[in-house]
Amino acid sequence: MAYRFKHIEKIVGVFLTLVILIVVTLVILIGRERRWFEKQFEYSTEFWRGEGLNPGLVVSIKGIQIGEVKSVFLNEENWIEVRFSVYEEYSERIRKDSVAKLRSPLIGSKVLEIIPGGKDQLPLENGSYIWSEDMDEGIRILKQKAKEEKPDQLTRILQNVEALTENLSDTEGNLEQSLAKLRELLDMLSSKDGSFAKTLASIDRITGSIEDKEGSIGKLLYDNYELYDGIISIMKKLDTIMSDIQTLSGTIAETSPEIKAAIEQANMTMDEATGLIRTLQQNFFVRGFSSRKDDVVVPLENAEREGGYSEGGGFGR
């Protein structure tokens, strides 16, 4: 070997060479992590507003990083033009119907979310332009994709909230119509010449009369408990009457068998009397004194059946 190194020089050489190796290794590892050595595809899009948009922002599909924002600037049409790169392995997902939208996670900076294109569409070339959620075409594609895809629960809730807010903010929507009707109703109620005002005036007069002890209601309400005392008195009397009736009904119930026997006895007597009268009418000597001739006599038993007595309606039955 042409050079002869001292021991100290060798140690220092190793010491410094190791440092260079460590630095180079670290730079390579960082570069690999940041995908410096991979081919990247660039695309551009436009947004109406650019809050939170800056170079270095993560570009993702469904939460997986696929690239990063390269530049953000205000173009001549006053739209925010965003240029971003996508790693080669994900470039095929950027298709004609892909849409870029800004997503704000709960923690951290915003994310440029790419809605991947359909498989029936061709992949976009490097440097192509894709629609954003702020453009009519982007909105149309997003709505179409929302119909086609089965959304998760959170997405469904967000879609419902979006629809609700759209409905609420719609000037010709149900809420606006209801509010207009309510406004008309309130105008009508607040009008001095309206029927509601007249009704209120009438009610006011009536309540005034009542308070002045005028009319029946007024007298009833302000009679110093006269009506109340009268009702209490009547109730006491009714109570007494009811107790009397109860006593009477009890007596009748106790004597009902005797009444029945008396009635049967009376029936028998009446039958005998009827037979005797018929015999007398047919008698030669007394026939001329009778005013009723061939009169149909209804027996007392039949009379009982036809209306005098009913099942369960008699005394003591």
Q: Which residues bind other proteins (CB under 8 A)?
A: 6, 8-9, 11-12, 15-16, 19, 22-23, 26-27, 29-31, 33-34
How far is CA 273 from its chain centroid? Answer: 84
Compute the least distance from the CB of residue 6 to other proteins, in Å.
8
Q: Which is nearer to other proteins, 16 or 238 (CB)?
A: 16
> Which C-beta is closer to other proteins: that of 34 or that of 278?
34
Nearer to other proteins, 29 or 245 (CB): 29
* Phi, psi values for residue 152, rounded to 5°: -80, 180
How far apart are the C-alpha atoms of 120 and 118, rounded to whole Å? 5
| Angstrom distance (rounded) from CA 5 to CA 189 | 108
CB of 3 to other proteins, least distance (A): 12
Distance CA(116)–CA(134), nearest Å, equals 17
Phi, psi of 245 (to 5 degrees): -60, -35
- Least Å from the CB of residue 30 to other proteins: 6
Cβ nearer to other proteins, comparing 28 with 157: 28
- Which residues are CB-neighbours of 274 under 8 A, at least 6 positions away? 297, 299
Nearer to other proteins among residue 18 and residue 161 (C-beta): 18
C-beta of 54: minimal distance to other proteins in Å?
16
For residue 171, the minimal CB distance to other proteins (Å) is: 43
**Which residue number, 11 or 253, has a Cβ lying nearer to other proteins?**
11
Q: Which two tokens stand for residue 221?
A: 């309400």
The answer to whether 75 and 96 have CB atoms below 8 angstroms apart is no
Smallest gap from residue 79 Cβ to other proteins (A): 30
The full DSSP string for 221-243 is: HTSTTHHHHHHHHHHHHHHHHHH
Question: How far is residue 19's CA from residue 284's CA, in Å, rounded to a whole number?
Answer: 166
